A and B are shown apart, each in its own frame.
Chain A
Amino acid sequence: MPVTQIATGRAFTYVDNIGQIGASGPTLRHPVGLARGANDILYVANWGTESQPNARITKCVLSTQEWIADIGQPGSGDGEFLWPGGLIADSNENLYLTDQAASKIVSFDKDGNFLAKWGTPGSDQGQLLRPSGLAFDSDENIFISDTRNHRVQKFTKDGTFLSSFGSKGSAEDQFNMPWGIALDKDDNLYVADWGNSRVQKLSHEGSFLQTFGSPGHHKGELDHPSAVAVDKDGDVYIADWANNRVIVFEPDGTFLATLIGDATNLSEWAKGKVAANPDLAKARARADLEPEWRLWHPAALHVGDDYKILIAEAQHMRVQIYQKDPNYFEAQFTL
Chain B
Amino acid sequence: MAGKDIALMAHLMRRAGFGATYEELEARAAKGYEATVEELLEPDANGVPEYDELTLARYFPDMEVPSAPALGTANFMYHLYTTPRPLVEKMTLFWHMLFATGNSKVDNPPEMLQQIEMFRQHGMGNYKELLMGVAKDPSMIFWLDNNQNHKLAPNENWGRELLELFSMGQGNYSEDDVKMTARAFTGWTILPKIPRTPYQRHHWKFIYKAEDHDNSEKTFLGHKGNFNGEDIIDIIVDQPATAQFMARHLYNYFVADEVQVPSWLDFPPRDPEAVNAIADTFVKSGFEIKDTLRFLFNSDFFKDESVWFAKVKNPAEVVAGTIRLIGDFKEPRPGVLPIGLEGAYQGQDLINPPSVEGWHTGKEWVDTGSLVRRVNFVADSLSNADMPGVQAIINRLGSNDTLTPEQLVDGCLELLGAIRVEDGTRQQLVDHVKASGEIKRGSSEDEVRAFGQRVTEVLQLIAATREYQFG
Query: CB of A245 within 8 A of chain B?
Result: no
What is the 8 Å Cβ interface bit string for chain B, positions 318-353, against chain A (1 contact, 0 not)? Answer: 000000000000011111110000000000000000
| Chain A: CB-nearest residue to B69 | A51
Asked whether B194 lies within 8 Å of A289 as measured between CB atoms, the reply is yes
Complex-state Cα separation, A274 to B195, whole angstroms: 10
Of the candidates B59, B66, B199, B203, the one whose C-beta lies within 8 Å of that of A317 is B199
- Place the interface of chain A in its size category: 35 or more
Give the chain B neighbours of A194 by CB distance below 8 A.
58
17 contacts between A and B (CB under 8 A): A19-B199, A21-B196, A21-B199, A29-B62, A32-B61, A47-B61, A50-B336, A51-B66, A51-B71, A177-B55, A177-B58, A242-B54, A273-B197, A286-B192, A287-B194, A297-B61, A318-B199
- Please tell me which one of the listed residues B68, B195, B202 contacts residue A49 in the complex, with CB atoms under 8 A apart: B68
**In the complex, what residues of B have CB within 8 A of residue A267's CB?**
198
Which chain A residue has the least Cβ–Cβ distance from B68? A51
Interface status of B193 (Cβ within 8 A of chain A): yes
- With a cutoff of 8 Å between Cβ atoms, the chain A residues found around residue B195 in the complex are 280, 283-284, 287
Pair B193/A21 contact, Cβ less than 8 Å? no
User: Are B199 and A291 touching (Cβ within 8 A)?
Assistant: no
- A29 to B65: give the CA distance in the assembly, Å: 12
Within 8 A of A (CB), among B55-99: 55, 57-68, 70-71, 74
Contact yes or no, B61 A287, CB < 8 A = no
In the complex, chain B residues whose CB is within 8 Å of the CB of A305: none
Interface set of A (CB-CB < 8 Å, partner B): 19-21, 29-30, 32, 47-52, 82-83, 100-101, 130, 148, 177, 179, 194, 224, 226, 242, 266-267, 269-270, 273-274, 280, 283-284, 286-289, 291-292, 296-297, 299, 314-318
Task: Report A-chain residues with C-beta under 8 Å of the C-beta of B66.
Answer: 51
Interface of B: prevailing SS: loop
Chain B neighbourhood of A179, CB < 8 A: 58
- Do the beta carbons of B62 and A30 come within 8 Å of each other? yes
Say whether A316 contacts B200, CB under 8 Å.
Answer: yes
- Our pick among A101, A224, A273, A289 for the contact of B54 (Cβ within 8 Å) is A224
CA distance A317 to B335 in the complex (A): 22
With a cutoff of 8 Å between Cβ atoms, the chain A residues found around residue B57 in the complex are: 297
Instruction: Answer whether residue B191 sits at the interface, using C-beta atoms and an 8 A cutoff.
Output: yes
Question: How many A-B pairs fall under 8 Å by CB?
Answer: 103
Q: Whole-angstrom distance from the CB of B299 to the nearest CB of chain A?
A: 42
Q: Which 7 A-B pairs have the closest CB atoms?
A: A270-B198, A49-B62, A51-B68, A20-B198, A273-B198, A30-B61, A286-B192
Asked if A314 and B194 make an inter-chain contact with CB atoms under 8 angstroms apart, the answer reads: no
Is B59 a contact partner of A83 (Cβ separation < 8 A)?
yes
- Which of A21, A51, A288, A315 counts the most B-chain CB atoms under 10 A from its CB? A51
Residues of B within 8 A of A316 (CB): 199-200
The residue from B55, B65, B334 contacting A50, defined by CB atoms under 8 A apart: B334
B197 touches A291 (CB 8 A): no
A101→B191 CA distance, assembly (Å): 39
Are B193 and A287 in touch, CB under 8 angstroms?
Answer: yes
Contacts A21-B199, A270-B199 hold; do A291 and B62 have CB atoms under 8 A apart?
no
With A21-B197, A273-B198, A284-B195 as contacts: A83 and B58 at CB distance below 8 Å: no
In the complex, what's the smallest C-beta–C-beta distance from A245 to chain B, in angstroms?
16
Residues of chain B within 8 A (CB-CB) of A287 are 191-195
CA A20 to CA B58, docked complex, whole Å = 20
CB-CB contacts below 8 Å: B246-294 with A: none
Contact A48–B62 (Cβ < 8 Å): yes
Q: How far is the CB of A180 from chain B (nearest CB, A)?
A: 12
B184 shortest CB reach to chain A, Å: 27
Chain A residues with Cβ below 8 Å from B203 are 291
Once bound together, how far apart are the Cα atoms of A280 and B197, in whole Å?
Answer: 8
- Give chain A residues whose Cβ lies under 8 Å from the Cβ of B198: 20-21, 266-267, 269-270, 273-274
Task: Using CB atoms, name the residue of chain A closest to B332.
Answer: A130
Give bound CA distance, A315 to B63, whole Å. 11
* Shortest Cβ distance from A274 into B: residue: B198
Q: Please give the distance in Å from B363's CB to the nearest CB on chain A.
A: 32
**How distant is the Cα of A164 from the Cα of B71 in the complex, in angstroms?**
37
**For window 16-68 of chain B, which residues contact chain A by CB distance below 8 Å?**
54-55, 57-68
Cβ of A292: which chain B residues have Cβ within 8 Å of it?
A: 194, 199-200, 202
B194 → chain A closest CB, angstroms = 5
With known contacts A274-B198, A280-B195, A284-B194, A50–B54 Cβ distance under 8 A? no
- Alpha-carbon gap, A273 to B61, bound state (A): 23
Question: Per a CB cutoff under 8 Å, which of B55, B59, B191 touches A288?
Answer: B191
What residues of chain A lie closer than 8 Å to B199, measured between beta carbons? Answer: 19-21, 270, 292, 316-318
CA of A318 to CA of B64 in the docked complex: distance in angstroms? 17
A267 to B336, CA, bound (A): 32
Closest chain-A Cβ to B240's Cβ sits at a distance in Å of 44
Given A287-B192, A317-B199, 5 more A-B residue pairs with CB atoms under 8 Å apart are A21-B199, A50-B63, A291-B203, A292-B199, A315-B65
Q: Which residue of A has the minimal Cβ distance to B65?
A: A315
B337's closest neighbor in chain A, by CB?
A: A50
Q: B residues within 8 A CB of A284?
A: 194-195
A72 CB, min distance to chain B CBs, angstroms: 16
CB-defined contacts of B68 to chain A, threshold 8 Å: 49, 51-52
Among residues of B, the one whose C-beta sits closest to the C-beta of A289 is: B194
In the bound assembly, the distance between CA atoms of A52 and B63 in angstroms comes to 12
A289-B194, A316-B199 known; A101 vs B70 contact (CB < 8 Å): no
